Amino acid sequence: MASSASKRLFKEYKGLSSDAPEGITAGPVTEDDMFLWEALIQGPEGTPFEGGVFPAELKFPKDYPLAPPSMRFLVDVWHPNVYPNGQVCISILHPPGDDPNHYEQASERWSPIQSVEKILISVMSMLAEPNDESPANVEAAKMWREKRADYEKVVRDNVRKSLGL
């Protein structure tokens, strides 16, 4: 089980290295452990996240790709769908069974035909378009809804801070 999981992860690593999508860099922290990755995602243009680079760690379960990885940002990301501890809450990271609220389509959720690349692209578009239905960070969601200018300012300040300016 674990060996087929690491084989698959290695294949995805190779694919992402030779043909990386724009604004995404991802790979295992060390090849000794294929189950812990670190990814860098560029803030999408035309959003307050523009210009920022956001590192995140991806933890894969031993039965990957049957179960999805978990993803956590390693810098402060002020976003309705990111928990204050950095954990990303997005439908593609949820297994099809785990949906008590029934607002997610089964097709949006995790399945073995998804991939790390698709997760990272989904997270990138999530940064641009928050999903207001299930806020992971209630404060950020409220600010996003009611005081958009303040929200964008917090995001921009975080971007500057994360780049050491």
Partner 1 sequence: MAEQTLNIPQLLVFIIVSILAIRWYLAKPAPAGTRPAGANRAVRINPAHIDQISNMFPQLNRRDIAWDLQRNGGNVANTTERVLRGGGLDAPPPSFNAPAPRPTLTSRTATPVAKPSQPDLITRYNLSSKLATKSETATPEEQPKQKAWSQDRTERQANLQRRREEMILAARRKLEEKEKAKNSGTSA
Catalytic amino acids?
89
- CA end-to-end span of the chain, whole Å? 45
Does position 46 bind partner 1 by CB under 8 A? no
Residue 67 · residue 95 · CB < 8 Å:
yes
How far, in Å, are 7, 21, 115, 129 from residue 10 at the CA level? Answer: 5, 17, 12, 31
Write the binding mask 59 to 88 for partner 1: x where contact by CB under 8 A, - elsewhere: --------x------xxx------xxxxx-
Nearer to partner 1, 119 or 135 (CB): 135
Does position 106 bind partner 1 by CB under 8 A? no
Peptide bond into 65 cis (omega under 30): yes
Does position 52 bind partner 1 by CB under 8 A? yes
Does position 98 bind partner 1 by CB under 8 A? yes
Site for partner 1 in 14-43 (CB under 8 A): 14, 17-18, 20, 25, 27, 30-31, 38, 40, 42
Specify the stretch interacting with partner 1 by CB under 8 A; choose among 50-58, 112-120, 125-133, 147-155.
50-58
Q: Which of 66, 74, 71, 164 is nearest to 126 (CA)?
A: 71
Neighbour tally for 12: CB within 10 Å: 20
Q: Which of 64, 57, 54, 22 is nearest to 38 (CA)?
A: 57
Sites of contact with partner 1 (CB under 8 A): 14, 17-18, 20, 25, 27, 30-31, 38, 40, 42, 51-53, 55, 67, 74-76, 83-87, 95, 97-100, 136-138, 159-165
